[in-house]
Structure 1
Amino acid sequence: MSNPESFIDEVTEEVRRDKLFAMFRKYGWIGVLLVLLIVGGAAWTEWQKARAQSEARAFGDALLGALDADTPEARIAALSAVEAKGDRAALKGLLLSSDPVSDRTGALQALAAVEADATLPPVWRDLAVLRRVILQGAEAPVADRRLALEPLAQPGRPYRTMALEQLAYLLVEEGRKDEAITALRALTTDQESPGGLRNRAAQMIVALGGDPAQG
């Protein structure tokens, strides 16, 4: 009985092997395709990363090269020539506004472009608004500056405490000294206020004749 059983086992194994080979010939291309997709996807991801790093490096080099120009006019011209989109365009716009003495109109226009770009996150747009209000100073009505700053001073906004500081300065400008001292004193104890801002607020309170430590 052992010989027939052995023969049957060999035949069964051979049949299984034939079926396996037949299935591989019929469907094996799917496995090959999956392997190619996985390998190709990994290669594409690495290429994309390398490309992004290369573009970021080139953008940074272009900005640094522009900022190294000898004159303000040359710096502005070089920065304007740098191609940028999205967050990079916001950074470029903020850099274009960094020399208002040489080109005040251009600086304000660059800030307005960042401020008006609804595709940018608040961290860029709010900074452009804050920078514009500070740059305009008393040339813009207090009411207009307050209207621009109040949304930035809401909880959760990236430059909340800086906006509150500017709002306090508007109170000083209006002669509302006691309200300004109260607002500045709140900033000295605000956990979100950076150290430099707290120091400025305390110094302003003293300049206004108040006591920073008084509750």
Structure 2
Amino acid sequence: MSNPDSFLNEVTEELRRDRMMGYLRKYGWIAILAVLLIVGGTGWNEWRKATERANAEAFGDAVLAALENNDPSARVNALAQIETTGAQAGMIQLLSAGELIETDRAAALAALSAASEDTALPDAYRQLAALKWVIAGGTDIPIAEREMILAGLTQPGQPLRPMALEQTALLQLEQGNPETAIEIMTDLLSQSDVSDTLRRRVTQLVVALGGEVAPR
């Protein structure tokens, strides 16, 4: 019985090999394609990263070159000539507005207002533009409008909340409410996400207004 068993085993093994070869001939291209996709995907990803780094470096160099101009108008014109993609446009808008504050305040405020409402820009840029608009506009902007903008920026979790709280306190001072301003600034000083520069500035103002600052 050993010979028939051996024969059956050989036949079974041969059938398995034939079946495996059939699978390879029929579906082997899938494995090859998968390998090619993995290798190609890795190469494309590296190329994309290198391209993004090169573009970012070129953009940074162009911005620095534009800001080296001595004349503010020349800086603005040079910034306007820089090709941008995505969030870079928002950065150019903010830089240009900053250059225009001293020479063309109306144009600067218009640029900041437009940037703050541009939904194509990242939220961080829009919020920064809104805060700069409030600061640069000052009393030329109605109090109600400034309060509305600052109310949104001072919500918990917002990245510019500390600086927006400072402006809210200043707005209270402008309206003749020093006690409310001190309360806002005291609360601000109790928070951990306040920069040293902002902390010093707010502390000096609280003390000047007769308030007390708790030691850290």
Structure 2 length-normalised TM: 0.86
Return the alpha-carbon distance in structure 2 between the equivalents of residues 132 and 106 of structure 1.
Answer: 11
The verdict on how the C-alpha distance between 1:162 and 1:2 changes in structure 2, with shifts beyond 3 A counting, is same
Return the alpha-carbon distance in structure 1 between the equivalents of residues 19 and 110 of structure 2.
Answer: 74
Partner of residue 36, structure 2: 36
Q: Deviation per CA, 1:163-199, whole angstroms, max 9, x where unpaired?
A: 1111111111122222222222222222232222221
Partner of residue 146, structure 2: 145
Query: Displacement of 1:154 after TM fit?
Result: 1.3
One-letter identity of the residue aligned with 2:90: A
State the SS of the aligned residue for 1:190: coil
Q: Which moved more, 1:107-116 or 1:9-18?
A: 9-18
Partner of residue 133, structure 1: 134
Partner of residue 61, structure 2: 61
Return the alpha-carbon distance in structure 2 between the equivalents of residues 67 and 164 of structure 1.
Answer: 31
* Conserved? CA contact 1:177–1:208, under 8 Å: yes
Q: Deviation per CA, 1:57-95, whole angstroms, max 9, x where unpaired?
A: 111111111111232111100111112233211211111
How many residue pairs match? The answer is: 214
Return the alpha-carbon distance in structure 2 between the equivalents of residues 34 and 190 of structure 1.
Answer: 53
Structure 1 length-normalised TM: 0.87
Q: Please list every run of 5 or more consecutive structure 2 residues that lacks an aligned counterpart in the other structure.
A: none
One-letter identity of the residue aligned with 2:66: A
The verdict on how the C-alpha distance between 1:19 and 1:188 changes in structure 2, with shifts beyond 3 A counting, is closer
Return the alpha-carbon distance in structure 2 between the equivalents of residues 118 and 49 of structure 1.
Answer: 26
2:181 corresponds to 1:180: yes
One-letter identity of the residue aligned with 1:165: E
Q: Which moved more, 1:131-140 or 1:169-178?
A: 169-178
One-letter identity of the residue aligned with 2:213: P
Return the alpha-carbon distance in structure 1 between the equivalents of residues 201 and 174 of structure 2.
Answer: 16
Q: Deviation per CA, 1:33-74, whole angstroms, max 9, x where unpaired?
A: 222122122222122112211211111111111111232111
Return the alpha-carbon distance in structure 2 between the equivalents of residues 39 and 127 of structure 1.
Answer: 42
Partner of residue 195, structure 1: 196
One-letter identity of the residue aligned with 1:51: T
The verdict on how the C-alpha distance between 1:14 and 1:94 changes in structure 2, with shifts beyond 3 A counting, is same
Q: Which moved more, 1:28-37 or 1:131-140?
A: 28-37
Identity of aligned residues (%): 47
Return the alpha-carbon distance in structure 2 between the equivalents of residues 123 and 97 of structure 1.
Answer: 16
Q: Which moved more, 1:180-189 or 1:125-134?
A: 180-189
Q: Please list every run of 5 or more consecutive structure 1 residues that lacks an aligned counterpart in the other structure.
A: none
One-letter identity of the residue aligned with 2:96: L
Alignment of 1:65-214 (within 5 A): 65-99=65-99, 100-213=101-214
Return the alpha-carbon distance in structure 2 between the equivalents of residues 17 and 177 of structure 1.
Answer: 90
The Cα RMSD (Å) is 2.3
One-letter identity of the residue aligned with 1:28: G
One-letter identity of the residue aligned with 1:92: I
* Conserved? CA contact 1:111–1:131, under 8 Å: yes
